[in-house]
Structure 1
Amino acid sequence: MSTEPAIGHASTLVTQEMDSGGPTPVGRHLTDWRIRRGLGVADLAARADVPSQLIEDLEAGEEWVDRGRVLSSLAVGLRLDPAELTGQPYMPYGPGHSTVHSLGWYARRHLARMLSADGNGGEADEVRLAELTDGVRVADDDGELASAAQMVPALLELIGSPLPGDADHRIAALRAAAHVAVSRLLRRLGYRDLAWNLLSHACPPPEVRPAVLEEEVWLLLDMGQAELAVARARRESADVPAKVLLPLAVAHATLGREAESERLLASAQEKANSARQRSQVASAGAFAAAEVGAYDDVLGRATGAACLPAGDHSALLVLTASARTRLGQYGAAVEDLAAAESLAPLHTRLNPLTRELVSVLPALAQEQAEALGEIAARLSVK
Structure 2
Amino acid sequence: MSTEPAIGYASTLVTYEMDSGDPTPVGRRLADWRIRRSLSVADLATRAGVPEQLIEDLETGQEWIDQGRVLSSLAAGLQLDPAELTGQPYMPCGPGHSAVHSLGWFARRYLARILSAGGVGGEADEVRLAELADGVRAADEAGELVSAAQMVPCLLELIGPPRPEGAGRRAAVLRALAHVAVSRLLRRLGYRDLAWNLLSYAFPPPEARPAVLGEEVWLLLDMGQAKLAVARTARGEADVPAEVLLPLAVAHAVLGQEAESEHLLASAQEKAISARQRSQVASAGAFAAAEGAAYHDVLARAAGAAGLPAGDRSALLVLTASAQARLGQYGAAVEDLTEAESLAPLHVRLDPLARELVSVLPALAQEHAEALGGIAARLDMK
* Aligned twin of 2:369: 369
Aligned 8 A contact 1:253 1:289 in 2:
yes
User: CA-to-partner distance for each residue in 1:187-245, whole Å, 9 max, x for gaps?
Assistant: 00000000000111100010110000100000000001111110111137342111111
What CA deviation, in whole Å up to 9, does each residue of 1:111-133 have, x standing for no partner?
A: 11111135644321111111100
Report if the CA contact (8 A) 2:120-2:164 is conserved.
Answer: no
- State how far apart, in whole Å, the 1-side matches of 2:31 and 2:285 are: 32
| Correspondence for 1:158 | 158
Shift of 1:321: 0.1
Q: Which moved more, 1:280-289 or 1:236-245?
A: 236-245
Counterpart-to-counterpart distance in 2, 1:163 and 1:185: 23
For 1:311, the equivalent position in structure 2 comes to 311
Q: In 1, distance between residues paired with 2:264 and 2:164?
A: 39
Counterpart secondary structure, 2:235: helix
Q: Provide the alpha-carbon RMSD of the alignment.
A: 1.2
**TM-score (normalised: structure 2):** 0.93
| Seq. identity, % | 81
Q: Which residue of 2 aligns with 1:340?
A: 340
Match in the other structure for 1:76? 76
Q: Counterpart in 1 of 2:91?
A: 91
Residue aligned with 1:80, SS: coil
Contact kept? 1:144, 1:344, Cα under 8 Å: yes
Q: Give 1:15's aligned residue.
A: none
Residue identity opposite 1:306 in structure 2? A
**Mapped partners of 1:325, 1:235: distance in 2:** 40
CA offsets 1:295-341 (integer angstroms, 9 cap, x no match): 00000000000100111000000000000000000000000000000
1: CA distance between counterparts of 2:246 and 2:130? 26
CA-to-partner distance for each residue in 1:33-82, whole Å, 9 max, x for gaps? 01111111111111100001111111111111000000000000000000
1:114 aligns with 2:114: yes
Match of 2:13 in 1: none
1:203 equivalent to 2:195? Answer no
Structure 1 residue 56 and structure 2 residue 28: aligned? no
1:264-279 alignment to 2 at 5 Å?
264-279=264-279
Provide the rounded CA distance (Å) in 1 between the counterparts of 2:38 and 2:202: 41
Whole-angstrom CA distance in 2 between matches of 1:253 and 1:79:
22
Whole-Å separation in 2 of the counterparts to 1:37 and 1:112: 34
Q: Which residue of 2 aligns with 1:297?
A: 297
1:246 aligns with 2:243: no
CA separation in 2, counterparts of 1:325 and 1:233? Answer: 35
Which residue of the partner structure matches residue 173 of structure 1? 173
Give distance in 2, aligned partners of 1:236 and 1:91.
42
In the alignment, residue 55 of structure 2 is paired with which amino acid?
A: I
> Secondary structure of the equivalent of 2:105?
helix
Alpha-carbon shift at residue 161 of structure 1 (Å):
1.4
Equivalent-residue separation in structure 1 for 2:144 and 2:363 (angstroms): 31
Q: Is the contact between residue 279 and residue 304 of structure 1 (CA under 8 Å) also seen in structure 2? A: yes
- Does the residue aligned with 2:278 lie in a helix, a strand or coil? helix
**What is the distance in 1 between the residues matched to 2:149 and 2:54?**
38
Aligned residue for 1:116, secondary structure, equals helix
Give 1:25's aligned amino acid.
Answer: P
The one-letter code matched in structure 2 to 1:218 is W
Amino acid at match of 2:363: A
Which residue type is aligned with residue 287 of structure 1?
A: F
Name the count of aligned residue pairs.
363
- SS of 1:91's partner is coil
Taking the aligned partners of 1:133 and 1:312, their CA distance within structure 2 comes to 18
Aligned residues of 1:21 and 1:363 also touching (Cα < 8 A): no
Q: Which runs of 5+ in 2 are unaligned?
A: 1-19
Write the distance in 2 (CA, Å) between the matches of 1:85 and 1:298. 24
CA distance in structure 1 between the aligned counterparts of 2:354 and 2:348, rounded to whole angstroms: 7
Contact 1:162 1:172 in 2 (8 A): no
Q: Greater shift after overlay, 222-231 or 112-121? A: 112-121
Cα distance in structure 2, aligned partners of 1:236 and 1:243: 16
- Give TM-score, length-normalised by structure 1: 0.93
Corresponding residue for residue 237 of structure 1: 237
What amino acid does structure 2 have at the position aligned with 1:200?
Answer: S
Counterpart in 2 of 1:328? 328
Q: Which secondary structure does the structure 2 equivalent of 1:184 belong to? A: helix
Aligned residue number for residue 256 of structure 2: 256
Change (3 A) 1:236 1:99: farther
Residue 4 of structure 2 corresponds to which residue in structure 1?
none
Q: How many angstroms apart in 1 are the aligned matches of 2:306 and 2:182?
A: 26
**Would you say the 8 A contact 2:136–2:181 is kept in 1?**
yes
Instruction: Supply the distance in 2 between the matched residues of 1:196 and 1:333 (Cα, whole angstroms).
Output: 34
Deviations 1:264-314 (A, max 9, x none): 111110110000000000000000000000000000000000100111000
**Aligned partners of 1:236, 1:188: CA distance in 2, in Å?**
30
Counterpart CA distance in 1 for 2:207 and 2:118 is 29
Stretches of structure 1 that go unaligned for 5 or more consecutive residues are: 1-19
Whether 2:281 is the aligned partner of 1:281: answer yes
1:127 alignment counterpart: 127
